[in-house]
A and B are shown apart, each in its own frame.
Chain A
Amino acid sequence: MNDLELFRDQIRLWTLKQLHHLGFGHYGGSLSIVETLAVLYGKEMNVTTENFKEVDRDHFILSKGHAGPALYATLALKGFFPMDMLLTLNQNGTKLPSHPDRNLTPGVEMTTGSLGQGFSVAVGMATSLKLSGSTHYTYTIVGDGELNEGQCWEAAQFAAHHRLNRLVVLVDENKKQLDGWTKDIIETFDLADKFRSFGFWSTRVDGADMEAIHQAIIEGKEQKEKPICIILDTTKGQGIPYLEEKEANHHIRPSDEEKDIIRQAIEELEKKVSEKEAGR
């Protein structure tokens, strides 16, 4: 897992660097999907700069579009665009808007950010690939707060009806939405159970454990009858203790003190990454 751990740390580092450079943004929900993006782009999916224009390959849609910075870090590390472009996040005229735009950013497959819609688009792609006889998979990351949207459950019914066994829905259960804890706003109850009752194969794993995420995907793919749903038990602000503990961590505009703390976290990650890079 060494290379994958390095990739994960690089994604986390560059996610933080983008937001720190900008001075505000969706820290919490970007950090909670870092491990999942590392598994998808570092191990599971066959998406590369070379095959990106082809239809018959794996596909990924970030339905929880506000986590755009984490996707951008991943795509830059995969060579879709230069690393220094990451620091243009949300600047005037940028190709990296806070929510992904397929017409602006190399490697971004779909424009998302209006919650619930990316789930449907992934379902449409998976249906299209299935009808074409493709053996490739469509992956989407959906937020637990995003599941408030009724459209997600329309998409889930459609996916189950069409037995989309090559659709992998990863739910980032970081337990918070913009206004606070999901349990206080719209309680999710047992999401794995919910998806199972909708006709999915479903399991719940530690969303900070890349091996567990990967194993769950493999296990889901062994059955051929149902779409796959993996509930990722994550922490908003994952991997950065100060941000994990901060109560309101959906969209953060750090104070000067907090900026120092985040800068320290960046320095620590930079050190860790360069040590790992040296040890390769």
Chain B
Amino acid sequence: MSMTELKLEEKEMRQVYSETILELAKKDPNVIALDADLMSSISLNKISPQISDQVINCGIMEANMMGVAAGFSLTNKIPFVHTFAQFATRRAFDQLFVSLAYAKLNVKILGSDAGVTAEHNGGTHMAFEDLGLVRLIPNATVYEASDSTMLRKLLIQNYKEYGVHYIRTTRKKAVKIYDENETFPKGKGKLLRDGTDVCIVASGIMVAEALQAARELEKKSIDAMVIDMYSIKPVDAELLTYAAEKTGLIITAENHNVIGGLGSAVAETLSEIKPVPIKRVGVREKFGQVGKVEYLKEFYGLTANHIANIALENLGK
């Protein structure tokens, strides 16, 4: 990761999702994409005419969609399920839990419109809990994609690996973090910037904020480490231990409730193996609301500035 200017990508995340589904579906007739009346939101409508037997719009029935996915898995198909993050988790949790995870079936779920990126859909549609909910499910794998290269690679990896996989993402353009040769193994994080004073562990849209915070801190002669912990479950304990030993101070940054998500995963892991002070940047005891992303990030404290200030406070500067 070079420290060049942080820029938005040319492609939207949804375009990458649908293109990857198309690629997998053309290669493998067992790939089935299921959606709950949000196909046009995730650009599946643009590719579905080319693979019409492999795309099913289940209608506004998330619970049934999870069961239908289970039925496909039982007949050796590989279902990819998309809906907004809160419908995939909050609304259909027991179906995800029992019919898919407890039954040990194979499904790849994309929860879109992560956290504040739900913008004008507001509190009903704004999931700050989805990572926490899926993390609670035994053996489920939980990712948050920070850019389109990662999203594409994670989808392909999930296709190859049997089990319940959940990827959280935004639908629109992400800040470009990775070049196309990068790989994203399960259970690993990416060390984007090494440092000695503090380590910022981030995921999703907060990775770009973390990198920006590191630059601000650099101006104040603070050497910050930055990790993209895209694999939220399993989390990369080895890399976290390295960060804790080297810096002695961890700040987590997530577009999610500080309970249950990345902050919890990092705190739970390090408290057992290498306890150091951990400060969690994220949503605290609040529901979502309507607004533009920039406004919402300010409101919930999900900014580079906020991360940098927390670092300064805790370093006694």
Contact = CB atoms under 8 A, between A and B. Distances in A.
Contacts of A55: 75-76
Interface string A96-110: 000000110000011
B103 A103 contact: yes
8 interchain residue pairs of minimum CB distance: A124-B71, A120-B67, A124-B68, A154-B64, A125-B71, A111-B103, A154-B61, A128-B75
A119 B99 contact: no
Contact of B95 (A59, A120, A126): A120
Interface of B: 32, 53, 56, 58-59, 61, 63-64, 66-72, 74-77, 94-95, 98-99, 102-104
Contact of A126 (B61, B64, B71): B71
Classify the interface of chain B: helix, strand, loop or mixed. Answer: helix
A92 to B, nearest CB: 19
A155 B75 contact: no
B26 to A, nearest CB: 16
Contacts of A118: 67
B95 A128 contact: no
A123 B67 contact: yes
Contacts of A161: 59
A120 B95 CA distance: 10
Contact of B71 (A103, A113, A128, A157): A128
B13 to A, nearest CB: 27
Give the residue among B56, B59, B64 with the most A Cβ atoms within 10 A. B64
B64 A155 contact: yes
B56 A127 contact: yes
B77 A128 contact: yes
A121 B61 contact: no
A103 B67 contact: no
Listed residue (B53, B56, B58) with the most chain A CB atoms within 10 angstroms of its CB: B58
Nearest to A109: B74
B76 A131 contact: no
B68 A120 contact: yes
Contacts of A155: 64, 67
Interface of A: 55, 59, 102-103, 109-111, 113-114, 116-129, 131-132, 150-151, 154-155, 157-158, 161
A129 B53 CA distance: 12
A116 B63 contact: yes
B174 to A, nearest CB: 32
B61 A157 contact: yes
Give chain A's interface secondary structure class: helix
Contacts of B59: 154, 157-158, 161
A62 B12 CA distance: 43
A124 B63 CA distance: 12
Given A55-B76, A125-B71, 8 more contacts: A59-B74, A110-B74, A117-B67, A118-B67, A122-B71, A126-B71, A155-B64, A158-B61
A129 B74 CA distance: 10
A105 to B, nearest CB: 12
Contacts of A158: 58-59, 61, 64, 68
Given A127-B56, A154-B61, A158-B58, A120 B76 contact: no
6 contacts: A55-B75, A59-B74, A110-B99, A120-B70, A124-B68, A128-B72
B95 A151 contact: yes
A108 to B, nearest CB: 10
A132 B74 CA distance: 13
A117 B72 contact: no
A113 B99 CA distance: 10
A257 to B, nearest CB: 38
Contacts of A131: 53
B250 to A, nearest CB: 38
A121 B75 contact: no
A110 B103 CA distance: 7
A139 B69 CA distance: 17
A163 B105 CA distance: 25
A39 B94 CA distance: 32
Contact of A124 (B53, B69, B94, B104): B69
A102 B299 CA distance: 47
Contacts of B102: 111
A161 B68 CA distance: 14
A127 B61 contact: no
